[in-house]
Structure 1
Amino acid sequence: MSEAILEVVVTSAEEARAAVEGGADRLELAAHMEADGMAPSLAEFVRTREAVTVPLRVMLRDKGGFQAADLDKLRATADGLRAAGAQEFVLGFLTPDGALDLPAVRAVLDSIPGCRWTFHRAVDHAADRTAVRRAIDGLPGLDTVLSAGSVTGVAAGLPTLLEEADRHGEPGYTMAVMAGGGLEAEHVPLLRARGVHAFHVGTAVRYQGWDSPVDRAAVHRWRHLVDAARKDAD
């Protein structure tokens, strides 16, 4: 795996193959992207896992969005995916007032012991992102926080991402940050220069948004961009 990580959002085995052929290091598998991504079906996970060998992180999210609408069902989904071979996940839940729902997070983690996972963009929707980051620091298996720095995307959240990158190593800032959510090519060199080494793309590698499939050539261009930014930062 290259030092700079390129993660691509995919919704099927076919998209997974295209993303890997384009140079993706890691995939996030989700369904219903028109709703910002939900847990995929067990069948689609199995198809996708059989199609590629790169790390595959599976979304654990339901119609509650950044809240857990049905925690028992989410845990059952996690149990099924884990039993089918899933080893990496994406999750994170807030209370209605925007605080971390730590009981819900821990309940789902109990279903995926020993697995690595990403705390997703719930952090961008939190009432106090610093409090959330400190509260999740040290949770078992957590190695990445996916963030745009803002609800509206990286264009608005870039100053926050850069400021937080400078705090790496402090309590709440020990996890790797993966920049994603409206990420644009011009953001990558700035983030890479400040130590951000992981990048997450979805619509950026599709020509007509979520209604179109992953384009291998577009992934390849992002692969080149991320690698070039890494070299410039060295």
Structure 2
Amino acid sequence: MSKRAVLEVIALDVEDAVAAQAGGADRLELVTDMAADGLTPSAATVAGIRAAVDIPVRVMLRLADGFAAGAVERLVTAACEMREAGAEEFVLGFLDADGQVDLAAVERVAAELEGCRWTFHRAIDRAADRDALRKQLADFPGLDTYLTAGAAEGVDAGLPVLCAEAGRRGEPGYGQQLLVGGGLRLEHVRGLLAAGIDAFHIGGAARLRGWDGPVSADAVAEWRRVLGG
């Protein structure tokens, strides 16, 4: 490979962040409340992690379980607070009741980010038409990554979609990096790398006791070894 694959690790606190960086993570996704699949953390946590590590940190902008935007002005306020705490990169993504991208909400929140880089998260896996969603967001300011398992059920079910989308890189709507996560296991890596996928996202897999324990530098290092570099 011409460049090493990106390894992004979910962090809940400073301890996680330090361990992830020590294990070789390239980037963190910072969230709280994994019981709700990851919500916006506190500003204090953002500030603490920014002070503790020097790898990029993407901060979740999501205030409630599910993929509806909810109160958009509350999201805008959260985005402002996260930026004031030192956040420079973000994760977001909103769908309406019909499974279409909620463009108004995405536009309003992204405007507050003023060009900061951001990931459209696994809401894409619940979209009614993921190709249409990608084309609607093709030239969206700051959007450089899609976090996806290829299917709502996870990577096992989504492998064909992931490989097909990797093969469309360069087409309109497919210029963003494909960041694979959601039930991702080490045995998936070889086939995904062969398909040209170069970014991987882990949460529970970075923890020896799953979500009951902290990030393990050793577990992250094993992923780094398998991914190369």
TM range (shorter): over 0.9
Which secondary structure state, in structure 2, belongs to the residue aligned with residue 143 of structure 1?
strand
Q: Is 2:4–2:227's contact at 8 Å kept on the other side of the alignment?
A: no
The answer on 1:23 being equivalent to 2:24 is yes
The answer on 1:150 being equivalent to 2:151 is yes
- Sequence identity (%): 52
Q: Is 2:28–2:56's contact at 8 Å kept on the other side of the alignment?
A: yes
Scaled by the length of structure 2, what TM-score is found? 0.97
Which secondary structure state, in structure 2, belongs to the residue aligned with residue 58 of structure 1?
strand
Equivalent in the alignment of 1:231 = none
Moved over 4 A (4+): none
Q: Unaligned stretches of 5+ in structure 1? A: 229-234
Distance 1:152 1:173 in 2: 22
Offset, 1:186? 1.4
Distance 1:210 1:74 in 2: 26
- Describe the shift of the 1:72–1:64 C-alpha distance in structure 2 as closer, same or farther (beyond 3 A): farther
What are the superposed Cα offsets for residues 162-193 of structure 1, whole Å, 9 maximum, x if unpaired? 01111111111111100110001111111111
Q: Partner amino acid for 2:7? A: L
Q: Is 1:147–1:181's contact at 8 Å kept on the other side of the alignment?
A: yes
What are the superposed Cα offsets for residues 10-61 of structure 1, whole Å, 9 maximum, x if unpaired? 0001100000000000000000011100000011111111110000000000
Q: Partner amino acid for 1:164? A: E
Q: Partner amino acid for 2:156? A: A
Equivalent in the alignment of 1:120 = 121
Offset, 1:3? 2.4
The answer on 1:185 being equivalent to 2:186 is yes
Which secondary structure state, in structure 2, belongs to the residue aligned with residue 177 of structure 1?
strand
Distance 2:186 2:61 in 1: 28
Q: Is 2:163–2:195's contact at 8 Å kept on the other side of the alignment?
A: yes
Distance 1:211 1:132 in 2: 35
Which secondary structure state, in structure 2, belongs to the residue aligned with residue 110 of structure 1?
helix
Distance 2:44 2:210 in 1: 24
Q: Is 2:121–2:146's contact at 8 Å kept on the other side of the alignment?
A: yes
Distance 2:19 2:173 in 1: 35
The answer on 1:37 being equivalent to 2:38 is yes
Which secondary structure state, in structure 1, belongs to the residue aligned with residue 186 of structure 2?
coil
Equivalent in the alignment of 1:232 = none
Q: Partner amino acid for 1:31? A: T
Offset, 1:64? 4.7
Distance 1:86 1:227 in 2: 28
Equivalent in the alignment of 2:220 = 219
Distance 2:92 2:138 in 1: 14
Distance 2:7 2:132 in 1: 28
How big is the alpha-carbon RMSD for the aligned residues of Structure 1 and Structure 2?
1.1
